[in-house]
Amino acid sequence: MHDALSAWNQQVNLGFVLKEIRDEFAQRPPTKRGEDTYSSRPPPPLPTQPAETMNLNRSSAEVEELLTNDFAFEMFFNSLERVQNLKTVQEELRNGNENLAHKNLGREDQLLKLRAEVGDMDKEYKALKAEFEGKERQQQEAFSRFTASTVLTRLKASVYESDELSESVAQSFLDGNLDHDSFVKQFRELRKVYHLRASKLERAQKDRLFTL
Chain segment 179-204, per-residue pLDDT in tens: 888 888 888 888 888 888 888 888 87
Chain segment 25-41, per-residue pLDDT in tens: 566 655 544 444 444 44
- Which is more confident, 1 or 136? 136
Three-state secondary structure call for residue 65: helix
CA distance 151 to 156: 9
Domain residue extents for the chain: 1-47, 146-207
CA distance 19 to 8: 14
Q: What band does 209 get if pLDDT is binned at 50, 70 and 90?
A: low
CA distance 12 to 20: 13
Q: Whole-prediction pTM value?
A: 0.31
CA dist list (Å): 161 to 103, 146, 157, 166, 198: 81, 20, 6, 9, 11
